[in-house]
Amino acid sequence: MMTQPKTNRIPAPLYAAAGAGELALEQLRKLPTVVSELRDRVVNDGGRVVTDLGGKAVITGFELRQKANDTLRTVNQSTESLRQKAVPGADLHKLREVADVNRLREVADVNRLREVADLHKLREVADANRLRGAAELDRLREVATRNAAVVVAGAQVAQERALAAYGALVARGERVVGAGVLEAAETVNADIEATEATVEEVTEPTAEPAKPTATTAEPAAKTEVPSPTEVAEIVEAKPAARKTTRAKAAPRQAAAKRTAAPAKATRRSRPAAE
């Protein structure tokens, strides 16, 4: 598993995507120059190739014509020499002796073919024991382990390369994003400074008449602070005041209860006629 590099705020894949996008933009910006260079090369090289091929075609055509004429002359000369050397009468007996059927049979003797293709020799050559000895399991295991080690090493190298490329993309993306954040911060700071300047210009004429308020606040600040003894006296006076208020409220409640009790005992009596 690939370990992603740690970042503070934004995840690493976003940085990597930003770096890849910047690389793609750089390649796209280089495309017009590359296309113009290729066009110039094609024009220059095309003209040279056409001139070289035209000259070579003329030279090769002339040489081929000369060679064809020479070959025709040699063929005519050889045919004339063969005609002169040819025997007027072809002897049939000599031809039969040369192509004797008996000699052909001796050459193509079946026994010799059987001896050459002897089954015992083929069995000895294709002996199973020798094949097994050649293809031993130990050698195969060694070869397999070597191949596995090579594959693992290649995978590790590829992983390291991928991690290095990923880290480079992340660093590039951090640069891109950091540059964008700095630009945005600069614009925000410029806007804040502009707004502060406008606010200061507006508040300057209104701030001058408000100065007398500071003079009025000074006497309030000069009021005397109570001492600790005074605070203790005030605290002791509060429970006494509460007791007196409770004593005054108690007889009032008792009188109210007395006046309310007879009212509850009165009931209406119905007349006898009903």
Mean pLDDT of 58-78: 81
Residue 5 has pLDDT above 90, yes or no: no
pLDDT exceeding 70 applies to what percent of the chain?
A: 54
Residue 225 has pLDDT above 60, yes or no: no
**Where residue 1 falls among pLDDT bands split at 50, 70, 90?**
very low
| Mean residue pLDDT across the chain | 70
Alpha helices in the chain (DSSP H): 12-85, 92-98, 101-107, 110-116, 119-125, 128-134, 137-207, 212-221, 228-265
Condensed to tens digits (0 to 9), the pLDDT of residues 185-199 reads: 778 778 888 888 787
The better pLDDT of the pair 85, 195 is held by 195
The better pLDDT of the pair 198, 165 is held by 165
* pLDDT score for 269: 47
Mean pLDDT of 122-126: 72
* pLDDT score for 17: 80
Mean pLDDT of 40-47: 81
- Cα–Cα distance, 167 to 202 (Å, whole number): 52
Mean pLDDT of 120-135: 72
pTM of the model: 0.32
Are the beta carbons of 15 and 169 closer than 8 angstroms? yes
Residue 32 has pLDDT above 50, yes or no: yes
Q: Where are the domains of the chain?
A: 22-86
**Where residue 108 falls among pLDDT bands split at 50, 70, 90?**
low
**Where residue 13 falls among pLDDT bands split at 50, 70, 90?**
confident
Are the beta carbons of 185 and 26 closer than 8 angstroms? no
**Number of CB atoms found within 10 A of residue 18's CB:** 20
- Range from 8-17, 36-45, 86-95, 255-264 carrying the lowest mean pLDDT: 255-264
Among residues 184, 159, 165, 185, which one has the least CA distance to residue 19?
165
**Where residue 264 falls among pLDDT bands split at 50, 70, 90?**
very low
**Where residue 116 falls among pLDDT bands split at 50, 70, 90?**
low
**Where residue 222 falls among pLDDT bands split at 50, 70, 90?**
very low
Residue 150 has pLDDT above 50, yes or no: yes
Are the beta carbons of 19 and 168 closer than 8 angstroms? yes
Q: Which two tokens stand for residue 253?
A: 């409640």
* pLDDT score for 187: 80
**Where residue 156 falls among pLDDT bands split at 50, 70, 90?**
very high
Mean pLDDT of 240-268: 54
C-alpha dihedral, 201 to 203 to 205 to 208, nearest 10°:
-140
